[in-house]
């Protein structure tokens, strides 16, 4: 049986009772379905986006009111099946007609390549030839079932890194981050977690795009329904205004053709038997070449130079050091003019929805909860050009506050994050001082220290963030943040900085150490303590300033010293 | 003794554990209190002692006998040590059963013998002053030399037997002019060292012997000349 991505039982869903069943996408409307359960983290992220894209295509709400109506009265499985049915012919994976996200041309003129090429974490042909697949190994995936091949194909098309001459990068740049909105309540069915990420018709498009109802034959929506837009010369770039507003969900920068094998085999990704597995594919250069001011609805962007509006915004990407709360403002708070942060449009829109439905607050109660208690799921590859360094997946609180208080929220969050950054900087320097004879000449990657520090202080930050959100939602004229929240944040940072220093600098036996070493270690620690205590005229300035801004008192150095030392 | 003096003495005699140094690494406050009282009776003359307690000083020879001992075994046989031990023990009898079980530290007679041997060298104390700090201070009449050199200090951190410890601590005290150190802090370090010799290291490295000692030492050394005194 040929795989159709709308009607076949091809996606593994996790149900309320823990069972995992393969069902068609419409199962997302089943209240018993809680989540997807894909065998790989990047597949999981892609499958979520696939379902969001389907909902967005099959049932885009007219406006925010219609969106809210749907939020309260979800469709049934049968209803969703009906809504999806018209699009079925665009979702065939195999066959002679158009194939999902594949080239209409059979690409008979290119050589067959292994299916592993669809996976981002496979070495390229050059890496295999030169034997440089040290960490990203070859030979792990030779056989893929059609289901996994379909997801691998979708994952590649939405995340594609630039692969050299003519091998096009994805619509939102290589290895983009994706941010999705999730309700805080984890027992919510999958539907309630997908729908917040669907935007109404009046908001989903970008400037220059006019809304029209999606149709299965629309070649500006599904590129694979027509001949490929080959990008072999200048002027063939694909710009936002040339395509359907929903095309961003179905972008197709790469030209592939999956080859189905008649020899059955076991899928190396999910372990299931497949009658007609995919072992090879054909890939060709010069697929759609995306250019222009693309803003994928689910991806955060930023302007490198906020003053130069003619420069294109860049999508945010995963970076070494991970994702933490220091990225939170850039992922949530729009600040185009100063820092250049452009959160994903779905996030910005979600935070504005509140204002739009406020008038109808009586029937907006369910949404109210979503607005107050939502999380942001951030995930994506950390890419070094074509090579993946890692996959990040983090959940953070999403704090919604009235528009009038956005600035205040940004200011407070900045104050908190800045303090953490400053302490982290000093901590790193003092560790260097403890470790090296000539710290200024010491080379090496110290970002691990930052990462550990931010990770350790993350829970405290998100606690503070929730309280900040609570204060600002009270919607008073002049909201103030209590000294206690400031003091707790300061206390958490100080505690973790000292703990990290001690663990890194003095965890081994000190008895056998050279005196110079001991001198460095004790000196660096005393400096750090003075800095953190805010004692010392110059050294303690940062803490003194924060304490003053927050309205709390730093303990006097002497007593603080012992407090820190005394057993818990 | 005038009436006023007597009154004052009485008040001081009621001085309790509250008057010892705030944070201790290996001793508890009652132990520290008993130790200080014993040391004062051992070292101070009658006039000085009166300011602290109504109790009488021990006879002169008691301290001299203790100072002549350089092994744990010989310390155990001295009269001075008998006084110290009985003070600690009687307290243990009276208080241990009812006390917080965490504070029921095992009474190590060898630990206290080492403490006695070292503490008997101290002639005058400065409240709350750690030994490490005193050793890191500038030697009087010299430019930039600490009372104890780096190398010697390193040896001090690296003692492996009680005998070695007694010898090195006594030498260190000599370099400190046998003064300017708190007897409680001094004993606390000996007890901490002893505990670590038995493999009981504090989970936090900043509360271990080598760190506490060298932190104080280098802090004193880092002070600019003139500020320290």
A548 Cα to chain B: minimum distance (Å): 29
CA distance B76 to chain A (A): 29
The pLDDT of residue A556 is 58
Could you give all domains of chain B from N- to C-terminal order, each with its CATH number?
A: 3-222 (1.10.520.40)
Q: How many CB atoms within 10 Å of residue A170? A: 24
pLDDT band at A559 (very low <50, low <70, confident <90, very high): very low
What is the DSSP secondary-structure string of A293-319?
S---TTS-EE-SSTT-TTSPPEE-B--
Q: Which DSSP string corresponds to A402-443?
A: -GGGHHHHHHHHHHHHHHHHHHHHHHHHHHHHHH-SSGGG--
Residue B43 pLDDT class (50, 70, 90 cuts): very high
- Residue A34's alpha-carbon distances to A14, A187, A188, A395, in angstroms, are 6, 7, 7, 17
- Give me the pLDDT at residue B4, please: 47
| Residue A519 with chain B: CB contacts under 8 Å | 214, 218, 221
Pick the residue of B20, B21, B22, B148 with the most A CBs within 10 A to test the interface with A by mutation. Answer: B22
Residue A251 has pLDDT above 50, yes or no: yes
CB-CB under 8 Å, A507 with B210: no
Apex B100 CA angle, B104 and B15, nearest 5: 85
A164 conformational bin, left if phi > 0, alpha if psi -120 to 50, beta if neither: left
Task: Give the count of alpha carbons within 13 A of A398, CB side only.
Answer: 30
Residue A310 has pLDDT above 70, yes or no: yes
Structure tokens at B91: 């307290």
> Using CA of residue A547, residue A552, residue A557, residue A562, what is the dihedral sign?
negative
Who's near B184: CB < 8 A, 6+ residues apart? B20, B21, B24, B27, B32, B35, B36
**Contact state of B151 with A562 under an 8 Å Cβ cutoff:** no
Lowest mean per-residue pLDDT among A366-375, B74-83, B205-214 = A366-375
Q: Hey, of B20, B21, B23, which one would you mutate to test binding to chain A, going by the most A CBs within 10 A of its CB?
A: B23
Mean pLDDT of A267-295: 91
Verify whether the Cβ–Cβ distance B222 to A518 is below 8 Å. Answer: no
Q: DSSP string of chain B?
A: --HHHHHHHHHHHT--GGGS-S--SS--HHHHHHHHHHHHHHHS-HHHHHTT-SSPPPPHHHHHHHHT--SHHHHHTSHHHHHHHHHHHHHHHHHTTTS-GGG-----HHHHHHHHHHHTT--SB-TT--HHHHHHSBPTTSSS-BSS-HHHHHHHHT--SHHHHHHHHHHHHHHTTT-SB-HHHHHHHHHHHHHHHTT---SSGGGSHHHHHHHHHHHHHHSPTTT--
Distance (Å, rounded) from C-alpha A197 to C-alpha A530?
Answer: 47
| A566 three-class SS | coil
Element (H, E) at A227: none
* Structural tokens at position A70: 């749907």
pLDDT in tens, A102-124: 999 888 899 999 998 888 888 77
pTM for this model (two decimals): 0.80
Test A519 with B214 for CB contact under 8 angstroms.
Answer: yes
Per the prediction, chain A carries an average pLDDT of 88
Exposure string of A62-82, with b = 16+ CB inside 10 Å and e = fewer, is eebbebbebbeebbebeebbe
Which residues of chain A from 493 to 552 reach within 8 Å of chain B, CB to CB? 502, 506-507, 509-515, 518-519, 522-523, 525-526
ipTM of the complex: 0.79
């Amino acid at each position: 049986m040929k795989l159709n991505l709308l009607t076949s039982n091809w996606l593994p869903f996790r149900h309320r009772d823990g069972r995992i069943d393969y069902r068609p996408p419409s199962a997302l409307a089943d209240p018993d379905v809680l989540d997807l359960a894909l065998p790989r983290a990047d597949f999981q992220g892609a499958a979520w986006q696939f379902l969001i894209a389907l909902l967005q295509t099959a049932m885009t709400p007219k406006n925010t009111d219609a969106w809210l109506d749907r939020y309260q009265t979800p469709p049934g499985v049968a209803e969703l099946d009906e809504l999806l049915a018209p699009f079925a012919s665009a979702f065939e994976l195999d066959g002679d007609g158009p194939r999902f996200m594949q080239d209409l041309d059979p690409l008979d003129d290119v050589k067959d390549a292994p299916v592993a090429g669809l996976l981002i974490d496979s070495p390229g042909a050059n890496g295999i030839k030169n034997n440089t697949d040290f960490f990203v190994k070859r030979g792990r995936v030779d056989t893929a079932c059609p289901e996994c091949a379909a997801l691998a194909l979708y994952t590649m098309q939405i995340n594609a890194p630039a692969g050299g001459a003519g091998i096009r990068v994805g619509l939102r740049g290589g290895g983009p981050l994706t941010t999705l909105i999730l309700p805080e309540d984890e027992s919510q069915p999958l539907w309630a977690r997908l729908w917040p990420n669907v935007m109404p018709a009046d908001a989903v498009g970008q400037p220059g795009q006019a809304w029209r109802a999606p149709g299965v034959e629309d070649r500006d929506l599904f590129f694979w329904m027509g001949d490929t837009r080959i990008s072999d010369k200048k002027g063939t770039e694909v710009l936002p205004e040339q395509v359907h507003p929903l095309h961003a969900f179905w972008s197709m920068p790469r030209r592939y053709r999956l080859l189905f094998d008649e020899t059955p085999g076991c899928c190396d990704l999910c372990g299931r038997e497949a009658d007609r597995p995919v072992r090879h594919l054909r890939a060709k250069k010069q697929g759609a070449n995306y250019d222009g001011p693309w803003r994928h609805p689910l991806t955060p962007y930023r302007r490198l130079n906020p003053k130069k509006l003619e420069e294109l915004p860049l999508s945010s990407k995963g970076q070494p050091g991970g994702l933490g709360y220091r990225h939170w403002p850039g992922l949530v708070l729009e600040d185009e003019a100063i820092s250049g942060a452009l959160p994903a449009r779905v996030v910005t829109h979600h935070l504005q929805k509140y204002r739009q439905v406020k008038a109808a607050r009586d029937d907006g109660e369910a949404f109210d909860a979503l607005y107050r208690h939502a999380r942001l799921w951030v995930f994506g590859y950390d890419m070094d050009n074509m090579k993946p360094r890692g996959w990040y997946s983090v959940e953070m609180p999403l704090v919604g506050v009235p528009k009038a208080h956005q600035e205040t929220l940004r200011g407070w969050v900045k104050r908190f994050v800045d303090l953490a950054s400053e302490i982290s900087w000093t901590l790193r320097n003092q560790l260097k001082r403890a470790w090296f004879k000539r710290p200024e000449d010491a080379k090496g990657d110290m970002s691990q220290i930052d990462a550990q520090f931010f990770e350790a202080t993350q829970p405290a930050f998100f606690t503070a963030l929730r309280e900040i959100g609570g204060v600002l939602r009270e919607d008073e004229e002049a909201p103030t943040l209590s000294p206690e929240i400031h003091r707790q944040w300061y206390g958490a940072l100080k505690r973790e900085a000292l703990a990290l220093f001690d663990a890194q600098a003095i965890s081994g036996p000190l008895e056998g150490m050279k005196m110079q070493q001991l001198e460095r270690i004790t000196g660096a620690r005393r400096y750090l303590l003075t800095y953190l205590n805010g004692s010392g005229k110059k050294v303690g300035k940062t803490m003194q300033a924060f304490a003053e801004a927050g309205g709390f008192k730093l303990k006097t150095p002497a007593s603080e010293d012992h407090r820190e030392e005394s057993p818990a | 003794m005038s009436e006023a003096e007597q009154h004052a003495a009485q008040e001081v005699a009621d001085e309790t554990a509250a008057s010892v140094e705030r944070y201790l690494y290996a001793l508890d406050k009652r132990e520290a209190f008993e130790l200080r009282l014993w040391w004062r009776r051992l070292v101070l003359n009658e006039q000085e002692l009166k300011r602290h307690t109504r109790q009488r000083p021990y006879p002169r020879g008691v301290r001299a006998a203790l100072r002549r001992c350089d092994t744990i075994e010989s310390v155990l046989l001295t009269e001075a040590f008998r006084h110290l031990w009985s003070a600690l023990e009687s307290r243990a009898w009276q208080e241990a059963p009812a006390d917080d079980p965490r504070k029921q530290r095992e009474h190590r007679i060898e630990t206290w013998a080492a403490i006695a041997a070292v503490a008997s060298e101290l002639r005058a104390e400065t409240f709350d002053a750690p030994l490490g700090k005193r050793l890191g201070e500038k030697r009087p009449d010299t430019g930039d030399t600490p009372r104890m050199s780096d190398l010697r200090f390193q040896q001090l951190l690296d003692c492996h037997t009680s005998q070695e410890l007694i010898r090195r601590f006594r030498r260190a005290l000599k370099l400190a002019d046998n003064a300017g150190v708190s007897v409680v802090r001094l004993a606390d370090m000996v007890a901490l060292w002893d505990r670590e010799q038995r493999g009981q290291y504090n989970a936090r490295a900043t509360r271990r012997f080598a760190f506490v000692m060298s932190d104080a030492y280098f802090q004193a050394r880092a002070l600019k000349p003139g500020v320290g005194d």
